[in-house]
Amino acid sequence: MGETLDLNDTEVGAALTVRSRAGERLAGKYDLLKLLGAGGMGEVYRAENVLIGRIVAIKVLHPHLANEPEVVARFLQEGRAANLLRHPNAVDILDVGQDDRGTPFIVEEFFEGKDLGQAIDQAGGKLPWQETLELLLPVVDALAAAHARGIVHRDVKPENVFLAEEGGRVVPKLLDFGISLLSHSTSPRLTAPGTALGTPAYMAPEQVLGANLDVRVDVWALGVLFYEVLSGVLPFESDTPNGFIIQIATGKPRPLSEVAPQVHPELAEVIMRCLERAPEARYGDAARLGRALRMARLSMDSETEAPPTPVLPERRLTAASFDLDLPVPEPPKPQAPKPARRVDVTAGIELETVAPMIVRAPWRPLAAPASIHPERPVVRGLGFAVFAVAGFGLLKWTRGQFLQEHLLAPYVRGVAGWMLLASTVVSAVLALGALLRGRRMWRDGEWTGGVIAMLVAWFFGMVAFEVGAIGGVSGLLGLS
């Protein structure tokens, strides 16, 4: 129990000396074995549940904070958030309780391994894109599940991504929901308006300014995380927390393609979209980001798996070659072609990742970026389709028996023709706009919206040609 740990408490702005409680027993069943670390709100111990012999991790609130209701509520909210999530790539909460002095504690899974920050340092500061996606895509999936349950993590960073060693393999785990937001919580608001919580280097512009937050702050933090792991540097760099805050609030991140030109352009484009200043310009949540990352990986895999075509050396024939009496070799026996590895890999990816995306993708997912509205070309196109049909009907009406000999009939037919030609141009423009919008939504993983937008493009393209062009020319010929 004589072990101590000095730290700077970022929550209260004071330097503290934490005295280890190793050797104590909590709630009559948890033996604290070793102090693993400490932060602004509490200490983390390696412990054992003596009733079942299981090794666990226990986070204990600092004793001097146990009498502050807001701090206690925020501390216990971590347990509620992680328990609500229940994802294989997020830490699992096993128990919550209080010690004999009323200090709350949280019992979590204990992992053997290292955090992502340590892994980056051991690898020389950055990781290749294949390993980066392998380690961080499960974290993106965990955050996607959190966002679907109304949980905003707010503190995504390398130290909160733990690479647990389980059964000879590495399983990424998302840790520390201590400052998370629960949108469906009935408890009072734990963060006052204008208050910024988080790690400055990974905070979004709206987060450092203390504005209203949603799940897109986690999308920003994931962008910073990918940027750092792939390039070895942060998109904004400073020696002080205030320096980070000023740069993030006023500046623009350096393009990843300039800092790390070895990163594939399609992957760099996905990451830079996460770092857009305007929240509505980013991916709407982690699920959409995950789909875009998998599409980029599919594209990069197809490029890396295609072997270069071998260049055979040129064979020069001389006159002497024809003087030789060489035996004619027997033609090789045909062999059954072996299935290409490209087909197997692609099929596996389509079954495991693309198919679930098609099933789960809604028509207009929650918190969609404001710039994507697949229904707008539908509404506009319907209006101009009605306009075209009206002109077509007017053209037919002038050919009726009643107006067959009327002096104004040719001029009315001419007006109808011009109406239909105008509809042709507008419908063609709408068809092109819907086609481009559908292509963008398809690339971003918006499968349903992209397909509908492309169908809209096809439909109004047909309206432009059949109703507008043919009817318009007929009306103008009737004028002559």
Which sequence positions are flagged as catalytic? 155
Give the phi and the psi of residue 253 in degrees, each rounded to 5: -65, 145
Residue 7 tokens read as 């730290």
**Consecutive H or E run containing 206:** helix 205-208
Contact 120, 132 (CB under 8 A): no
Which among 109, 117, 148, 112 has a CA at the least distance from the CA of 135?
A: 117
Residue 263 tokens read as 């990163």
User: What is the spatial distance between Cα 309 and Cα 7, in angstroms, rounded to a whole number?
Assistant: 59
User: What is the spatial distance between Cα 437 and Cα 457, in angstroms, rounded to a whole number?
Assistant: 10
User: What is the spatial distance between Cα 376 and Cα 59, in angstroms, rounded to a whole number?
Assistant: 51
Contact 416, 475 (CB under 8 A): yes
Which among 152, 149, 179 has a CA at the least distance from the CA of 84?
A: 149
Helix axes 376-398, 409-443, angle to 10 degrees: 160
DSSP state of 33: E
409, HSE (Cβ side, Cα atoms, 13 Å): 13
Residue type, 440: R
Query: CA torsion, points 101, 106, 109, 115, in degrees to nearest 10?
Result: -110
Phi-psi region of 251 (alpha: psi -120 to 50; beta: other; left: phi over 0): beta
DSSP per-residue string spanning 76-116:
HHHHHHHHHH--TTBPPEEEEEE-TTS-EEEEEE---EEEH
Q: What is the CA radius of gyration of the chain?
A: 32
Which among 259, 257, 292 has a CA at the least distance from the CA of 274?
A: 292
Beta-bridge partner residues of 16: 7
Contact 444, 378 (CB under 8 A): no
